[in-house]
Amino acid sequence: METNATTSRGRVRVEPATKRVRVMLGGQVVADTTDAVYVWENPSYPQYYVPLADVAPEALKETGTTTHSPSRGTAVHYSVHGGDKVADDAAWRYADSPLDALRERVRFDWGAMDAWFEEDEEVFVHPRSPYTRVDVLRTSRPVRIEVAGVVAADTTHATFLFETGLPRRTYVPKLDVRMDLLDPTDSVTMCPYKGTARYWSVRAGGDVHRDLAWSYDAPFRESAPIAGLVAFYDEKVDVYVDGVLQARPRTPFS
């Protein structure tokens, strides 16, 4: 079924996706489609729903589980079979949904699958929203970052990263960071737009501020200029730009 227009019900919004989308489990492609739709189940980012007709034969088996969503209707759950792997309750379908665009489509649990591809590029964490943009801009404006009154970074070679829906992030060359104050941690996070980040704790003011700084060693193409640079949570440090203290943003990281 082709969806040509945006539809919505409550907070759920459905829009066509023009990318080829493939889902892999157990070394096999369990879904391959050029007719996916984005479904915003929450305001932050979408999920993919793929046509039932584009799911591999025998890949889905009903589990007997159902769940109900006020906006999408009642979902029938499936286990997903690919190669020698089975992902229980890892897909569902709203066959009687009040949203027509969902009735003949399947939603796979992103994290339960082995890999997702948009065209021939692997994507991580969740689908990349068509409304999210990442701009990476070098700046010669003086930037100073203080942690508990201690200068942790001081530079005129910062890089600003602007990502839709998030505060500006400041990335600093390691030569301009007090790396002697930073201790690496085991924490790792993934971003669908930037890649895999590793973290440092910062020792300052007599305290250890855990996972306060991070860096992307090998960011994705659109964020390549931040490779190897260090950023700090603006929510938890004092950032001075042009000598002016910046307001701390209020986010879930505050």
Cβ atoms of residues 73 and 90 within 8 Å? no
As a whole number of Å, the CA-based R_g of the chain is 22
Cβ atoms of residues 225 and 138 within 8 Å: yes
Overall average pLDDT of the 77-102 stretch: 97
Instruction: Say if residue 35's pLDDT is above 50.
Output: yes
Higher pLDDT: 5 or 68? It is 68
What whole-number distance in Å separates Cα of residue 93 and Cα of residue 81? 16
At 149 the three-state DSSP class reads coil
pTM of the model: 0.86
| Tens-place pLDDT, residues 191-220 | 999 999 999 999 999 999 999 999 999 999
Domains of the chain from N-terminus onward:
7-123 (2.170.150.40), 134-245 (2.170.150.40)
pLDDT in tens, 83-92: 999 999 999 9
Q: How far apart are CA 38 and CA 24, in angstroms?
A: 18
Q: What is the pLDDT of residues 42-61, one digit of tens each?
A: 888 999 999 999 999 999 99
Predicted confidence band of residue 254 (pLDDT cuts 50, 70, 90):
confident
